[in-house]
Amino acid sequence: MANLPKSPPRQSEMALITGASTGIGRAVAMRLARRGHPTLLVARNRELLAQVAAEAGRFAPSTALAVDLLDDHGVRTILEHLHNCEFPVGILLNNAGIGMYRPMLEVSAREERDMFRIHYQVPSALIRAILPGMIDRRHGHVINMCSMATKVGPWGHGPYAAAKCALVSLTQTLAAEYSSAGIHFSYVNPGIVNTEFFNPSGMAGLRRQVARYGLSADRVAKKVVGLLDRPRLELCVPGHYRVLGWLAAFSPRWAHRLVTAKSRPAAAESSAPSPTAAPGPAPQVSADIVSASGEPW
């Protein structure tokens, strides 16, 4: 995909990063701080978030805001805080997320709603609040963390993949509508990243793939921050994963077979889904947005 016209970052503008306490969010926060960007860091884990803000604060102003993004009050708290910020938001990274690795019929309606809230509705609400200011200044960059699961839906990722697909479509539409105002929009599709996201027991079926193929969070963060210097609409990490999109366009059937084979858990680690199966346990939570007390949702 062709790069968009370059617009240099402004260190006088703040970066708002959700899911900033660990993993990709933390790594991006540190890279931006070293470039001199003030940061507003959002996550649920108050203790970890404070540590990241303290470390980032050695290089540039950094504020930690511990909120629950599944709660309406959490988003309102962010928006109220922005009204009193010294710096305008010039970079928005929607990175917070929760993961799940279960067949669709084992996912409760509430879990599905939470997936769409954290991966689509919260990013949309933050964009609605921040984009008008970017348009007024004719400068800004919105980066949405998506997933390679948006190319072809894998086993056990139904609501997650669907919500991320919605975020991809939103990003593309925003670019069509507002890029002429000097705003850049990007969505990032990383492969498997070796972070705490895969630590919960419900993710055990993916740990072998994580150990074999997992990228470091800092490798992804380096590419994400690079978007500020060379903006583009879509970024796949690693880059050769773009081939999956081409394969899906050429032969959806073969792409689906490939992804299904790679994502399905081993027979010993799974059981066939049943239409009468009771809802499974609570969704597996990324360490980026665990609660302030350290407990899962």
pLDDT single digits (tens) 200-219: 545 455 556 555 666 889 99
Helix, coil or strand: residue 191: coil
> Is residue 90 a contact partner of residue 140, using CB atoms and an 8 Å limit?
yes
Q: Which pLDDT score, from 0 to 100, does residue 41 have?
A: 98
274: left (phi over 0), alpha (psi -120 to 50) or beta: beta
Q: Which of 120, 160, 178, 187 is catalytic?
A: 160
Task: Report which of 123, 142, 147, 135 is spatially closest to residue 42, judged by C-alpha positions.
Answer: 123
Taking the model in full, what pTM does it have?
Answer: 0.82
Q: Which pLDDT score, from 0 to 100, does residue 177 have?
A: 98
**Residue 262: how many CB atoms within 10 A of its CB?**
12
Residue type, 17: I
The model's pLDDT over 51-69, given as tens digits with 9 standing for 90+, comes to: 999 999 999 999 999 999 9
CA–CA distance, 14 with 28 (Å, rounded to integer)? 13
Task: Report which of 198, 106, 220 is spatially closest to residue 158, judged by C-alpha positions.
Answer: 106
CA–CA distance, 24 with 9 (Å, rounded to integer)? 20
Task: Report which of 73, 75, 119 is spatially closest to residue 96, judged by C-alpha positions.
Answer: 119
Both tokens of 243, joined, read 């081939």
The 3-class SS string of 43-55 reads ECCHHHHHHHHHH
CATH class given for the domain over 14-289: alpha beta
Mean pLDDT along residues 267-283: 40
The yes-or-no answer on residue 187 being catalytic is no
Residue type, 196: E
Sorted by where each begins, the domain ranges of the chain are 14-289
